[in-house]
Chain A
Amino acid sequence: AAGVIQSPRHLIKEKRETATLKCYPIPRHDTVYWYQQGPGQDPQFLISFYEKMQSDKGSIPDRFSAQQFSDYHSELNMSSLELGDSALYFCASSPGTGFYEQYFGPGTRLTVT
């Protein structure tokens, strides 16, 4: 069965650069979530989209922005990268908002040097 796809799997950037992470949800899933997991940390919710509209917002820095496109894929744009942005970024999708199981992608590991 198709799973959530994230690209790239690994990304190395320098401080103050920009990064774009992509997430392709499971077909027919209309909700996408982004989480950040720092080294040894639990996943922290960043932002979510339902039907291409932002549905909830967590601890996402102002330097980050995200959107969901007409084909339901989502992109997380990160600017002015800082060393502390180094983390594993997970995307998850679900067939709606609320008490649905979220299916996670493999994550993009971002390293900022």
Chain B
Amino acid sequence: AQRVTQPEKLLSVFKGAPVELKCNYSYSGSPELFWYVQYSRQRLQLLLRHISRESIKGFTADLNKGETSFHLKKPFAQEEDSAMYYCALPASKLTFGTGTRLQVTL
């Protein structure tokens, strides 16, 4: 069965500090993984997907098949990055992780 684990419910960092949101997955096939973000009172929106290998808003994520991880990273956190972040494994439906709330403080 497919499963996504985000071990941290809350991650609080100072502005300008590096950020790493952890995501581990369990999937029998070749995975395609997404990171979704939900800003306060806004809809879920796709932040990035591993297959595109692009950087969005300074965030990157690398799929590590050996460690079955897809951690989201940003070298310098900004206040506007404060949001809920969900790692998701798509197939016929999205399997979401439990989400990590990123709080960026001054």
Chain A positions near chain B (C-beta within 8 angstroms): 33, 35, 42-45, 48, 55-56, 58, 90, 92, 97-107
Contacts and interface: CB of A to CB of B under 8 A. Distances in A.
21 contacts: A33-B94, A43-B44, A44-B96, A45-B94, A55-B92, A56-B92, A56-B93, A90-B43, A92-B44, A97-B92, A98-B90, A99-B32, A101-B34, A101-B46, A101-B49, A104-B43, A104-B44, A104-B45, A105-B43, A106-B42, A107-B43
B93 A33 contact: yes
B98 A42 contact: yes
Interface in B5-56: 32, 34, 42-46, 49, 51
Nearest to B6: A42
B95 interface: yes
Given A90-B44, A107-B43, A58 B86 contact: no
B23 to A, nearest CB: 12
A55 to B, nearest CB: 6
Contact size range, B: 20 to 34
B22 to A, nearest CB: 15
Given A43-B44, A45-B94, A104-B45, 19 more contacts: A35-B94, A42-B86, A42-B96, A42-B97, A42-B98, A43-B86, A43-B96, A45-B95, A58-B93, A92-B94, A98-B91, A98-B92, A99-B90, A99-B91, A100-B90, A101-B34, A102-B90, A105-B43, A106-B43
Interface of B: 32, 34, 42-46, 49, 51, 86, 90-99
A104 B32 CA distance: 18
A26 to B, nearest CB: 13
Contacts of A102: 46, 90, 94
A69 B91 CA distance: 23
Residue with the highest number of chain B CB atoms closer than 10 Å, among A56, A92, A100, A104: A104
Contacts of B94: 33, 35, 43, 45, 92, 102
B27 to A, nearest CB: 12
A91 to B, nearest CB: 10
